[in-house]
């Protein structure tokens, strides 16, 4: 069959896989191919057990895979055969050299650009889908321009705004699609081609265009603003705990102001995920690089509050469990960084588990989708760790439950049954304010939410 357009995506991760599946689903007359240097990942995309858990993804993959969606390993051939190339490779925080700990590590992006250059035999549109520091397109253009005029490349920026756990609905019905380009004739023509793809299913008013630098920067800023809201509400949760105010009531009252809005005001153990921290650090680095130290400090404080929130949670566990956890069994309910994903990258659960192990506690980890990743994350940690998917079995014989992920199933647990199987006094530390605290207190638990008065049978924390 002859396809109208041939689209390639380099990078078959959490973004490349789902976003290309959506394009293939919405554009059956386009051929979409996804490649990756990680061959095992490509095998997994071609198998019954996809490498990414995302509600709704399986169904779309089943409909499109082998028809107009392909996961392939022959990167060089695919570069030759496709004219529109999305780049969706990882851009983690740099761990070495200048800017270590803050700047983005662009080695994967640069390698991809060089591969595109080496194997292209016709003009290409190259689309940055990865999240990148502002001005990366300039580097990309310079690498691609070394073809010495034989072949032309147009670089576009099309950052992805989907969130994990809701990727398929976000991709199907996004708040907006952003496309940045050079404002040259050829840049604008390339931009129009990309607009055409999204226009297949997204209303025209939601497809916005801008200059390429605004597009690159907007992505970092959007993530920084979202994370800032979480840190803002979490900072106030600390004040609530000192004053008997209730963070859920404060968030409702504040969020009902239409100018503020109600989303992203859920106090929690802190934000996790592969992007918020790395993207804010990247923004901080950029601000320092341009000599804007005050601006850098302002955004860095969002991360500091996030770390503070996790430390506070841990201090609460330790303080309320009589200042010793040695030999005690703590059950972690939820290891993923949020519900509906198996992703554990930068999950607060990793940090909390390590802190618990450092106190010589025994940790039992339960999660419906993230146990495999949890075991990889903690493979080199010393201490007693076990992985038990069934929350009832996991909690049995434990001294405390720490709820770290907002999995819907935890709301429906039979806490009476769980209480019976635990060591007394039994504790719940709810890092998501997710379960019915009063009900659990009435069952017999001592309950410690975030930003709300504790429901405890002990008047004061003992001191040592
Ligand atoms: P990921 O690590 O899951 O996937 C990236 C893939 O790129 C990996 O499988 C890796 O093997 C592959 N890769 C690296 N170099 C390659 C090369 N030279 N050739 C072929 N493949 C190569 O990462 P992700 O979560 O999909 O994120 C990708 C980008 O999208 C990042 O910049 C991230 O910030 C951004 N982003 C992520 C999300 C999210 O929810 N995860 C959302 C929006 C934007
Ligand atoms: C986030 C953004 O929401 C996406 O728009 C963006 O595309 C993506 O980052 C990215 O660039 O990677 P994601 O990290 O998948 O998506 O998930 P979010 O829903 O944003 O949650 C991030 C963290 O904040 C989670 O740990 C979540 O539990 C926490 N959170 C979120 C709260 O603690 N409180 C809230 O009110 C909202």
- Per-residue pLDDT tens over the stretch 348-371: 999 999 999 999 999 999 999 999
Is 334 a pocket residue for ligand 1 (Cβ < 6 Å)? no
Pocket of ligand 2, candidates 219, 223, 252, 334: which has the most ligand atoms within 8 Å of its Cβ, to mutate?
Answer: 223
CB 376 within 8 A of CB 298: no
pLDDT at 30 (0 to 100): 97
Report angle CA 350, 353, 354 to the nearest 5 degrees: 85
* pLDDT reading at 85 higher than 60: yes
More confident site: 460 or 102? 102
Q: What are phi and psi of 346, to 5 degrees?
A: 55, 25
Rounded distance between C-alpha atoms, residue 85 and residue 159, angstroms: 14
As a whole number of angstroms, the distance between CA 365 and CA 349 comes to 9
Render the burial of 60-84: b for 16+ CB within 10 Å, e for the rest: bbeebbeebbbbbeebeebbeebeb
Question: What's the pLDDT band for 285 if we cut at 50, 70, 90?
Answer: very high
Q: Residue range 384-410: average pLDDT?
A: 98
Say yes or no: CB of residue 89 within 6 Å of ligand 1: yes
Q: What is the rounded distance in angstroms from the CA atom of residue 279 to the CA atom of residue 281?
A: 5
Q: Which residues are catalytic?
A: 275
Which ligand lies nearest the alpha carbon of 13? Answer: 1
Q: Best of 132, 268, 272 to mutate for ligand 2, by most ligand atoms within 8 A of CB?
A: 268
CA dist 376 and 51 (Å) reads 14
**How far does the centroid of ligand 1 lie from the alpha carbon of residue 17, in Å?**
10
For 326, phi then psi, to 5°, come to -60, 125
Pocket perturbation via mutation, ligand 2, pick of 53, 271, 433 by most ligand atoms within 8 A of CB: 271
Three-state SS at 4: coil
Q: In the predicted model, what is the mean pLDDT of residues 426-433?
A: 98
Q: Is the pLDDT of residue 458 over 70?
A: yes
Question: What is the predicted pLDDT for the residue at 31?
Answer: 98
- The protein residue whose alpha carbon is closest to atom 11 in ligand 2 is 275
Specify the ligand 1 atom closest to the Cα of 115.
Answer: 18
The stretch 211-229 carries a mean pLDDT of 98
Q: What is the pLDDT of residue 1?
A: 75
- What is the mean pLDDT of the segment spanning 188-210? 98
Instruction: Show Cβ contacts of residue 265 under 8 Å, excluding neighbours closer than 6 positions.
Output: 229, 233, 251, 254, 255
Mean pLDDT of all residues in 52-66 = 97
Q: State how far the Cα of 58 lies from the Cα of 21, in Å rounded to an integer.
A: 10
Q: Within 10 A of 102 (CB to CB), how many other CB atoms are there?
A: 20
Q: Judge whether residue 463 has pLDDT over 60.
A: no
> Residue with structure tokens 């009252």?
253
Range of lowest pLDDT (55-69, 140-154, 323-337, 400-414): 140-154
Q: What is the mean pLDDT of residues 280-298?
A: 98
Nearest ligand to the CA atom of 335: 2
Point out which residues pair with 440 in neighbouring strands.
Answer: none
User: CB 382: neighbour CB atoms within 10 A?
Assistant: 8
User: Which residue's alpha carbon is at the smallest distance from atom 29 of ligand 2?
Assistant: 271
| pLDDT tier, 149 (very low <50, low <70, confident <90, very high otherwise) | low
> Is pLDDT of 66 > 60?
yes
CA of 90 to the centre of ligand 2 (A): 17
3-state secondary structure of 30: strand
**Is 174's C-beta closer than 6 angstroms to any atom of ligand 1?**
no
Ligand 2 centroid vs 422 CA: distance in angstroms?
33
pLDDT at position 294 over 70: yes
Pocket of ligand 2 (CB under 6 A): 131, 160-164, 223, 226, 230, 264-266, 268, 271-273, 275-276, 337-338
pLDDT at 164 over 80: yes
Q: Give the confidence band of 462 by pLDDT, cuts at 50, 70, 90.
A: low
Burial class for 458, CB neighbours closer than 10 Å (0-12, 13-18, 19+): exposed
Distance CA 220, CA 280 (A): 7
Q: What pLDDT, on a 0 to 100 scale, did the predictor assign at position 148?
A: 67
Give me the mean pLDDT over the 434-452 stretch.
98
CA distance readout (Å), 45 to 14, 124, 128, 171: 11, 26, 22, 19
Q: Give the number of the ligand closest to the Cα of residue 163.
A: 2
Q: Please give the mean pLDDT across all residues of the chain.
A: 96
DSSP state of 65: B
Residues found in the chain: 464
162 lines ligand 1 (CB under 6 A): yes
pLDDT at 246: 98
Give the pair of three-digit tokens for residue 7. Answer: 């689209």
* Pocket lining: 347 vs ligand 1, CB cutoff 6 Å: no
Residue nearest to atom 6 of ligand 1 (CA): 11
Find out whether 364 and 331 touch, Cβ atoms under 8 Å. yes
SS3 42: helix
Give, for 189, the enclosing helix (H) or strand (E). helix 185-198
The model's confidence at residue 99, banded by pLDDT at 50, 70 and 90, is very high
């Amino acid at each position: 069959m002859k396809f109208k357009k041939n689209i390639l995506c380099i990078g078959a991760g959490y973004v490349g896989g789902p976003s290309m599946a959506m394009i293939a689903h919405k554009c059956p007359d386009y051929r979409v191919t996804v490649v990756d240097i990680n061959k095992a990942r490509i095998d997994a995309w071609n198998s019954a057990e996809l490498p990414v858990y995302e509600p709704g993804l399986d169904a779309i993959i089943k409909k499109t895979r082998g028809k107009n969606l392909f996961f392939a390993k022959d990167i060089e051939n695919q570069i030759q055969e496709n004219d529109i190339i999305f780049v969706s490779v990882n851009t983690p925080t740099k761990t070495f050299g200048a800017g270590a700990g803050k700047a983005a590590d662009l080695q994967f992006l640069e390698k991809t650009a060089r591969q595109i250059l080496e194997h292209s035999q016709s003009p290409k549109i190259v689309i940055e889908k990865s999240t990148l520091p502002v001005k990366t397109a300039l580097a990309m253009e310079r690498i691609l321009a070394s073809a010495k005029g034989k072949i032309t490349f147009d670089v576009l920026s099309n950052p992805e705004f989907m969130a994990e756990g809701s990727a398929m609905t976000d991709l199907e019905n996004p708040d907006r699609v952003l496309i940045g380009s050079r404002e040259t004739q050829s840049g604008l023509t390339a931009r129009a081609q990309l607009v055409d793809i999204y226009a297949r299913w997204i209303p025209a008013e939601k497809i916005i265009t801008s200059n390429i630098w605004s597009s690159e920067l907007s992505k970092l800023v959007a993530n920084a603003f979202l994370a800032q809201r979480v840190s803002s509400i979490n900072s106030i949760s600390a004040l609530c705990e000192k004053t008997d105010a209730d963070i859920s009531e404060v968030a409702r009252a504040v969020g009902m102001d239409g100018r503020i809005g109600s989303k992203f005001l859920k106090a929690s153990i802190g934000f996790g995920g592969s992007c918020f921290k790395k993207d804010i650090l990247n923004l901080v680095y950029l601000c320092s690089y341009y000599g804007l130290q005050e601006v850098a400090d302002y955004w860095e404080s969002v991360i500091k509050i996030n770390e503070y929130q996790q430390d506070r949670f841990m201090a609460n566990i330790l303080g309320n469990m009589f200042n010793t956890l040695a030999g005690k069994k703590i059950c972690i309910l939820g290891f993923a960084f949020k519900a509906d994903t198996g992703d554990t990258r930068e999950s607060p659960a990793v940090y909390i588990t390590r802190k618990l192990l450092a106190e010589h506690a025994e940790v039992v980890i339960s999660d419906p989708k993230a146990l495999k990743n949890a075991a990889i994350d903690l493979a080199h940690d010393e201490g007693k760790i076990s992985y038990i998917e069934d929350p009832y079995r996991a909690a049995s014989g434990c001294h405390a439950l720490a709820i770290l992920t907002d999995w819907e199933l935890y709301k429906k647990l039979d806490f009476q049954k769980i209480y019976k199987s635990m060591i007394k006094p039994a504790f719940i530390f709810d890092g998501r304010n997710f379960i019915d605290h009063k009900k659990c207190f009435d069952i017999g638990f001592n309950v410690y939410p975030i930003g709300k008065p504790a429901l405890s049978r002990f008047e004061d924390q003992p001191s040592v």
